Structure 1
Amino acid sequence: MTDRLLHHRTEGSPSAPPLLLGPSLGTSYALWDAVAPELSASHRVIRWDLPGHGGSAADLIAPGATVADLAALVLALADALGVERFAYAGVSLGGAVGLQLAVDHPERLSSLAVICSSAHFNGARPWEERAALVRREGLGAVAATAEDRWFTAGFTVPRLVRDHREADPAAYAACCDALAAFDLRDRLPSIGVPTLLIAGREDPATPPAHLREIADAVPGSALAEIPGASHLAPAQCPEAVLAALRTQLSGAPGRGMEVRRAVLGDPHVDRAQARQTPFTARFQDFISRYAWGEIWTDPTLSRRERSLITLTALVAHGHLDELALHVRAARRNGLTPEEIGAVLLQTAVYCGVPAANAAFTVAQRVLAEEDSAGG
């Protein structure tokens, strides 16, 4: 019976790879309104409501519920829709559901994105107290402070605030019970699915340290921090979240970002990530997904050969700052100083002596710095 399933919305081609999107406590699947339509261009997007939220029946959850109970409801929905294996992304409580799926049912996940969430939620007591308050007085007092917990000052999404006020108090309290009992810290190292953590730098509910804790424990995971984002990052900074998810879903955290770091070095990539803003997020996504995730990973040419080509192109166009970066990259890719010099000498013939002269100056400085650091 459909009324025993979580209320959901499906977008995109039925034949596309499935992607399930989980909401945070107090919201509905409207949390994904600014992101889901874009993702549906490449995926069969299925976003769902928590029990007692949006269109989901309140009696799908009971007092004393656990996050594992919610994960079972998500699997029941996937089974009913004929979805065997899927990518998953979730915010806050929805992210906790994703972690639970990853430790209990890894065979069902192709990838996992945990957004503004935690492997624990600051202990049981605050959630026990919130559950008791809601059972006693309803959602009025809690909903009145939602905007302060969810968004930075001056920003709001009225639809989500309304969803909070209209949630079923008993179901909301049972979700608080689930958060109170949730702590997967000791099981994080067992997660083997490709995992992305997304933190909002202004998030007071699950600060970046909570996501960093997961990233440090989950082997091979990646962490992205979004400047200016609070707890509901998909609603407040959809472009940045979208860029990160596109990278994850294309496989680039395991491909593009890994290659980018291997060639350019962690310090450079970390600086680029730290400078990322919502305005530049799509460009950073393009670089990681296309340049590094597709071009540099193409096996037709080796990385040594790609460094030779890149050095030549940068000299030809006079991009000296980028040239310095790629001289270092060429050394990581196995080129000797003599080989780099030979490339620059070749450019003197085909790109011009002045261009090669400037390039030799840059390369000599970088190689001297490399020698000094190595010494």
Structure 2
Amino acid sequence: MTLLDHRVEGPASAPPLLLGPSLGTSYALWDAVAPELSAAHRVVRWNLPGHGGSAAGLVRAGATVADLAGLVLELADALGFDRFAHAGVSLGGAVGLQLAVDRPERIDSLAVICSSAHFGGERPWRERAALVRREGLARLAGSAAERWFTPGFTVPGLVRDHREADPGAYAACCDALAAFDVRDRLAGIGTPTLLIAGREDPATPPAHLREIADAVPGATLVELPGASHLAPAECPDAVLTALRAHLDGGARRGMAVRREVLGDAHVDRAQAGQSPFTARFQDFVARCARGEIRTDPTLSRRERSMITLTALVAYGHHDELALHVRAARRNGLTPEEIGAVLLQTAVYCGVPAANAAFTTAERVLAEEG
């Protein structure tokens, strides 16, 4: 049996994670992300038929996304994966959605990146398939950077992959995109699902990912500023952070606790303000402070709030103190108990520090009613 060309990284005993590419690219799309993910996962990057080292004969004219999903399952079977996580970009994301609706028993978690539950109707893709069968890929490859990246950014190796793909297999993948539409099946997806949208993506703009997020129960949507259609190549740190938080169960629990304690508005603002520069720090906070520490049952949330208030007073972090006074109320502390904690800080942190803390806390408690 001929399998999709693939590359395996990471410990053999780690949970498997399959990464799918966009049409016209190869698994090199994941070069800046896969090595980091392989520290905790058995990462398998796969190539579409006729792309990279995958045989063009694996797909025929009139192919469907279900056909491509079947090839991915054959690869998983050959590697001994009964269940696996899947993340894919564009057509690779559509393959993940197809797996989630057709074979949910095989998918542990799903990440759909710069993709859609439908790709704008059949006509544009039928026309593109006809063009490629008639003229080859040179014209499309010439405009790839404009379709894939924000102005001034490109990855020459991916553009070269586009130019070197097999025209017949590429056209068959266009046929698959033309026929793809799973919108009426999204509500039945029970797999933990992450959607990542590039705010500058002209091919699958954020509205396409929001449509999926609104339909899939419990799905999470992350929008990346400054990212176009191939987000893992253009904004790898931000994509890595989002994927780690999604794949790491501790981080998911930590995010749930964070929303319960700090409120949705604060968490949404913090996520919206994340940039590629801060992505690794946010990942550290998500995995350690939120994932491992906050979810440790040794201390109650009330006790954690009292410790946190004391530490913030000691270091004079008054903006954070205001946030955590509100969190303390959500964790069950009464205004009297908060006052008692601040009075205790006067003994060990000093009267001036406690005086400023009382001023901040009084203002917050008044606002909270």
CA distance in 1: counterparts of 2:86 and 2:346, whole angstroms: 52
**TM-superposed deviation, 1:252:** 4.6
CA distance in 2: counterparts of 1:261 and 1:122, whole angstroms: 35
Q: Does 1:254 align with 2:252?
A: yes
Tell me the secondary structure at the aligned position of residue 305 of structure 1.
helix
Deviations 1:260-314 (A, max 9, x none): 1111111111111111110011112222222111111111111111111111111
CA distance in 2: counterparts of 1:342 and 1:122, whole angstroms: 60
Equivalent residues in 2 for 1:153-232, closer than 5 Å: 153-232=151-230
- Could you tell me which amino acid in structure 2 is paired with residue 246 of structure 1? R
Q: Does 1:69 align with 2:85?
A: no
Contact 1:194–1:254 at 8 Å: present in 2 too?
Answer: no
Residue 46 of structure 1 corresponds to 44
Tell me the secondary structure at the aligned position of residue 47 of structure 1.
strand
Equivalent residues in 2 for 1:214-293, closer than 5 Å: 214-252=212-250, 254-293=252-291
Equivalent residues in 2 for 1:223-372, closer than 5 Å: 223-252=221-250, 254-371=252-369
Matched residues, number: 369
Which of 129, 151, 160 pairs up with 2:149? 151
Which of 14, 23, 29 pairs up with 2:21? 23
CA distance in 1: counterparts of 2:336 and 2:83, whole angstroms: 51
Contact 2:302–2:328 at 8 Å: present in 1 too?
Answer: yes
Residue 78 of structure 2 corresponds to 80
Which ranges of structure 2 fall in alignment gaps of 5 or more residues?
Answer: none
- Could you tell me which amino acid in structure 2 is paired with residue 136 of structure 1? R
Contact 2:251–2:290 at 8 Å: present in 1 too?
Answer: no
Tell me the secondary structure at the aligned position of residue 254 of structure 1.
helix
CA distance in 1: counterparts of 2:254 and 2:147, whole angstroms: 34
Residue 91 of structure 1 corresponds to 89
Which of 108, 123, 140 pairs up with 2:106? 108
Contact 2:245–2:252 at 8 Å: present in 1 too?
Answer: no
Query: 4+ residue stretches of structure 1 with deviation over 3 A?
Result: none
**TM-superposed deviation, 1:254:** 3.1
CA distance 1:253–1:184, change in 2 (3 Å): farther
- Could you tell me which amino acid in structure 1 is paired with residue 101 of structure 2? V
Which of 7, 13, 19 pairs up with 2:5? 7
Tell me the secondary structure at the aligned position of residue 277 of structure 1.
coil
Tell me the secondary structure at the aligned position of residue 52 of structure 2.
coil
CA distance in 2: counterparts of 1:240 and 1:252, whole angstroms: 19
CA distance in 2: counterparts of 1:252 and 1:196, whole angstroms: 16
**TM-superposed deviation, 1:29:** 0.6
**TM-superposed deviation, 1:242:** 0.9
Tell me the secondary structure at the aligned position of residue 109 of structure 2.
strand
- Could you tell me which amino acid in structure 2 is paired with residue 332 of structure 1? R
Equivalent residues in 2 for 1:116-131, closer than 5 Å: 116-131=114-129
**TM-superposed deviation, 1:130:** 0.7
Contact 2:197–2:223 at 8 Å: present in 1 too?
Answer: yes
- Could you tell me which amino acid in structure 2 is paired with residue 341 of structure 1? G
Tell me the secondary structure at the aligned position of residue 252 of structure 2.
coil
Q: Percent identity?
A: 82
Residue 37 of structure 1 corresponds to 35
- Could you tell me which amino acid in structure 2 is paired with residue 348 of structure 1? A
Give the TM-score of the pair, scaled to structure 1.
Answer: 0.96
- Could you tell me which amino acid in structure 2 is paired with residue 245 of structure 1? L
Tell me the secondary structure at the aligned position of residue 255 of structure 1.
helix
Residue 59 of structure 1 corresponds to 57
Contact 2:109–2:247 at 8 Å: present in 1 too?
Answer: yes
CA distance 1:201–1:253, change in 2 (3 Å): farther
CA distance in 2: counterparts of 1:345 and 1:107, whole angstroms: 55
**TM-superposed deviation, 1:253:** 5.7
Contact 2:110–2:192 at 8 Å: present in 1 too?
Answer: yes
